[in-house]
Amino acid sequence: MDVSLTPDLYTPSVDDNGNYIDNVPVIRHGIICSCGSRADKTYDSTTKFATHIKTKKHKKWLVMLNQNKANHYVEMLQNKELVNEQRQIITRLENQIQSKILTIDYLTEQLTKKNNPVECVDLLDLN
């Protein structure tokens, strides 16, 4: 069995004013940038990644992140609510499945009893 290490996903840092800024992290197993300039590219060294963050497309992406901070917060709250709703749905469905399993087990037991009737003998009549 081969063990493969997946590259990390780059996330910009936040400065004291709450703005996104670039930093070059320590790269151990490669890093992927989600700026969209090269979606399939894995950067395997700090120098290659430092060159990447100087590109126009990456800088434009960082500006866009800073301009849409409020939208990201609203989206995060919506996603949080969605996750809670999905957890409730999953719990309800798991309960329904468990109930149906119990019903199936009970009906299966009843069916096997009908197909294999046990002969009852009155022990008082044996004399």
77 is in which domain, residue-wise? 69-115
Structure pTM? 0.61
User: What is the bridge-based pairing of β-strands 31-32 and 20-21?
Assistant: unpaired
75/61 same-domain check: no
The answer on 47 and 33 residing in a single domain is yes
Residue 120 within a domain: no
**What pLDDT band is residue 70 in, cutting at 50, 70 and 90?**
confident
Strand-pair category, 20-21 with 13-14: antiparallel
Q: Report whether pLDDT(110) > 80.
A: yes
Judge whether 9 lies within some domain. Answer: yes
